[in-house]
Chain A
Amino acid sequence: MSDHVAIVGIGSTPLRTLSPDQSYREMVFAAAARAYADAGVTHRDIDSFISVAEDLHEGTSITDEYTPDQLGAVLRPVQTVAGDGLQGVATAFMLIRSGIADLVAVEAHCKSSNILRHEAVLEMAFDPLYERPLQVYPHYVAGLEMRRFLHETGTTEEAVAQVVVKNRRNALGNQAAAFGAMLAADDVLASDPLCEPLRALEISAYADGAVVLVLGSAEAARRAPRPVWLRGVGWISGSPWLGTRPWGAASYAAAAAEKAYAMAGVTDPANEIRFAEIDDTYAYKELQHMEAARLAPRGGAGRMTLAGETGRGGALPVNPSGGSLGMGYCFDATALYRTAEAVRQIRGEAGRQQVRGATLGLVLSWRGVPTQTGGALVLAAA
């Protein structure tokens, strides 16, 4: 038996700011039906199911109660990962590697439009004894980090703004994206500073959607029409405390990426990785994460961006999908959407977003403030 694992099916609903016509169950059903059809299997062929969800995003305690029906998983091995989408992918990967499962489905969805006050949820992620009583607007953590990142690396605010310009333009070619736009760097820099230096247009906007991936063993992949190989997986958590973390560099992303690279045998990522889908919840994060993942030298990601090297036709396209800035931010489903986008790239099915020679891709995720948790996948055509 081989150790190899592939992504054999992807399915999602287009990300949209509102979705009043569908319940979350109906949305997940649509995504799952597409993913199973894409893999050429039915729900009965799937051995185990993973749902990635957090209670307070759903407004339901023990939200894993409501996961099986819409996946066709009634009375089957179903579990929830209250974590990042890539931790869900890693769990599926491990279930297959353990030998007990051939096909595993991973689901995540987001009904952000049903949360009436996002900040009320987000502030509850802070330590209730030390940090929460300060009652600061939760995005301030990103402001702190951006300031330190710019300070340590000499990255300019123009480079950060250029990330927004690039990603929202890329999103125009992606039918699943909610926020495609033609902007200029000046538009971004003229937007309100919410937590200076972080500006309003540098924060990804929320969107609703559901996404399902099907992973398979080498045997299952042989039967699948378009498998994409999962060569490396990594995830890591840094410090939960705000007081004791390296603010300038995304050390969690570096550690997660190194684990994935080691498994995949990638030693020189800047030259081997052909495109990347990288967390850009806040625009500066794309740059910080590129450097953490050794796709750019320290302080070099901004320069590469300004020089157009991370554009779709550049030397190292980053977020050709439009990223979270262009597609929309959907909590822990974000990483699964981006993984699906990477699969489309490697299959050569990305249409107007297609990157030439997209044979080896990196997906890098982050769970957002106030966490230091991230994941990494290396995906390959063969």
Chain B
Amino acid sequence: MARTVTPGPRRRPTTASPRMIDAPPRLPMRGTGLSEAEFQKTVATVEWVPALEYGWDTGEAIGRFLAGLRAGKIYGVRCRRCGRTVTPPRAFCELDFKPMDEWVELPPTGTVNTFSVCYVTWDMKPLRKPQVPAVIEIDGTTPRVGFLHLLGGLRGTSVEAVHRQVQIGMPVRAVWKPARERSGAITDILYFEPVRGKGRKA
């Protein structure tokens, strides 16, 4: 049941002491901060759980890319005009604005462009075992061409432990789902794992 809450002077949530500050905005500023408890208990709320459902057409280029993943292959496309080879594939070169239809099969290996060691879920709940997202530059593409995926096959959970096994510039290779479990999705690659014993690239 809702209780009426009258907007009033704000409680400062910071360590700063309340004081007059001779700086604009000068007029009494409005906005009433609520604590989590007030927010949950004393304010009337209306809940709405959206029932939104979409089924996106993958189109020609991504459709073929996903079919490739199902078959255990990573595809890219090459622009006949600028010569770039890129993945994920696209039907047109976004720089030259011409169709991009020279398909190439790329190796399932690449280089770590950058990575992070993430200890929280999307709603900021702690993760005991961190996720290691990375941008992987796929071998055979133009430099600085990669996509988002996860690194796996790592031991330990601390930042230091992960850093001992992964560095920027390190070669990695795709670890695939078993063929019969693949569904034509980016998750047909389970993750990329370090290629041990190989040197790092720039």
Instruction: Give the docked Cα–Cα distance between A225 and B23 (Å).
Output: 57
- Asked, given contacts A33-B97, A69-B94, whether A25 binds B54 with beta carbons under 8 Å apart, the answer is no
Closest chain B residue to A57 by CB distance? B54
The residue that A23 contacts in the complex, of B51, B54, B62, with Cβ under 8 A, is: B62
| Residues of the A chain whose Cβ atoms lie less than 8 Å from the Cβ of B62 | 23
Instruction: Give the docked Cα–Cα distance between A117 and B53 (Å).
Output: 6
Q: Across the interface, do A70 and B58 meet the contact criterion of CB distance under 8 Å? A: no
B27 contacts A by Cβ under 8 Å: no
Q: Across the interface, do A69 and B59 meet the contact criterion of CB distance under 8 Å? A: no
Q: Across the interface, do A21 and B55 meet the contact criterion of CB distance under 8 Å? A: no
Closest-CB distance, A55 to chain B (whole angstroms)? 10
Q: Across the interface, do A26 and B92 meet the contact criterion of CB distance under 8 Å? A: yes
A1 contacts B by Cβ under 8 Å: no
| Residues of the A chain whose Cβ atoms lie less than 8 Å from the Cβ of B94 | 68-70, 72, 74
| Residues of the A chain whose Cβ atoms lie less than 8 Å from the Cβ of B53 | 115-117, 120
Of A126-134, A191-199, A321-329, the one contacting chain B is A126-134
Instruction: Give the docked Cα–Cα distance between A115 and B57 (Å).
Output: 11
Q: Across the interface, do A26 and B60 meet the contact criterion of CB distance under 8 Å? A: yes
Most A Cβ at <10 Å: residue of B55, B91, B92: B92
The residue that A121 contacts in the complex, of B52, B56, B59, B95, with Cβ under 8 A, is: B52
A residues 323-341 in Cβ contact with B at 8 Å? none
Instruction: Give the docked Cα–Cα distance between A128 and B55 (Å).
Output: 26
Q: Across the interface, do A120 and B60 meet the contact criterion of CB distance under 8 Å? A: no
- Asked, given contacts A23-B62, A70-B92, A120-B51, whether A129 binds B56 with beta carbons under 8 Å apart, the answer is no
The residue that B55 contacts in the complex, of A29, A69, A116, A132, with Cβ under 8 A, is: A116
- Asked, given contacts A59-B52, A117-B51, A133-B46, whether A23 binds B58 with beta carbons under 8 Å apart, the answer is yes
B18 contacts A by Cβ under 8 Å: no
Q: Label chain B's interface by main secondary structure.
A: loop
A residues 8-58 in Cβ contact with B at 8 Å? 19-26, 29, 32-33, 36, 42-43, 56
- Asked, given contacts A25-B90, A43-B97, A72-B97, whether A114 binds B56 with beta carbons under 8 Å apart, the answer is yes
A166 contacts B by Cβ under 8 Å: no
A259 contacts B by Cβ under 8 Å: no
A307 contacts B by Cβ under 8 Å: no
Instruction: Give the docked Cα–Cα distance between A124 and B50 (Å).
Output: 8
Q: Across the interface, do A20 and B90 meet the contact criterion of CB distance under 8 Å? A: no
Q: Across the interface, do B56 and A59 meet the contact criterion of CB distance under 8 Å? A: yes
B61 contacts A by Cβ under 8 Å: yes
| Residues of the A chain whose Cβ atoms lie less than 8 Å from the Cβ of B90 | 25, 69
Closest chain A residue to B48 by CB distance? A128
Task: Give how many A residues have a beta carbon under 8 Å from the other chain's beta carbons.
Answer: 34
A169 contacts B by Cβ under 8 Å: no
Q: Across the interface, do B57 and A22 meet the contact criterion of CB distance under 8 Å? A: yes
A226 contacts B by Cβ under 8 Å: no
Closest chain B residue to A130 by CB distance? B46
Contact with B along A107-118 (1 / 0, CB 8 A): 000010111110
Closest chain B residue to A69 by CB distance? B94
Closest chain B residue to A115 by CB distance? B54
| Residues of the B chain whose Cβ atoms lie less than 8 Å from the Cβ of A42 | 97
Closest chain A residue to B52 by CB distance? A120
A residues 47-84 in Cβ contact with B at 8 Å? 56, 59, 68-70, 72, 74
| Residues of the A chain whose Cβ atoms lie less than 8 Å from the Cβ of B61 | 23, 26
- Asked, given contacts A59-B54, A69-B94, A72-B97, whether A25 binds B59 with beta carbons under 8 Å apart, the answer is yes
| Residues of the B chain whose Cβ atoms lie less than 8 Å from the Cβ of A68 | 94
Q: Across the interface, do B56 and A29 meet the contact criterion of CB distance under 8 Å? A: no
A residues 123-164 in Cβ contact with B at 8 Å? 124, 128-129, 132-133
| Residues of the B chain whose Cβ atoms lie less than 8 Å from the Cβ of A59 | 52, 54, 56
Instruction: Give the docked Cα–Cα distance between A120 and B51 (Å).
Output: 6
Q: Across the interface, do A111 and B57 meet the contact criterion of CB distance under 8 Å? A: yes
- Asked, given contacts A26-B91, A128-B46, whether A56 binds B59 with beta carbons under 8 Å apart, the answer is no
Q: Across the interface, do B91 and A29 meet the contact criterion of CB distance under 8 Å? A: yes
| Residues of the B chain whose Cβ atoms lie less than 8 Å from the Cβ of A111 | 56-57
Q: Across the interface, do B46 and A21 meet the contact criterion of CB distance under 8 Å? A: no
Instruction: Give the docked Cα–Cα distance between A32 and B94 (Å).
Output: 12
Q: Across the interface, do A116 and B59 meet the contact criterion of CB distance under 8 Å? A: no
Contact with A along B73-107 (1 / 0, CB 8 A): 00000000000000000111011010000000000
Instruction: Give the docked Cα–Cα distance between A56 and B52 (Å).
Output: 8
Closest-CB distance, A121 to chain B (whole angstroms)? 6
Apart from the given pairs A72-B97, A116-B53, A117-B52, 17 other A-B contacts in the complex at a CB distance below 8 Å: A22-B57, A22-B60, A23-B56, A23-B62, A25-B90, A26-B92, A29-B91, A29-B92, A33-B97, A43-B97, A111-B57, A114-B55, A114-B56, A114-B57, A116-B55, A124-B48, A124-B50
25 A–B pairs (Cβ distance < 8 Å), ordered by A: A19-B57, A20-B57, A22-B57, A23-B56, A23-B61, A23-B62, A25-B59, A26-B60, A26-B91, A29-B92, A29-B97, A33-B97, A36-B97, A56-B52, A59-B54, A68-B94, A70-B92, A72-B95, A72-B97, A115-B54, A117-B51, A117-B53, A124-B52, A128-B46, A132-B48
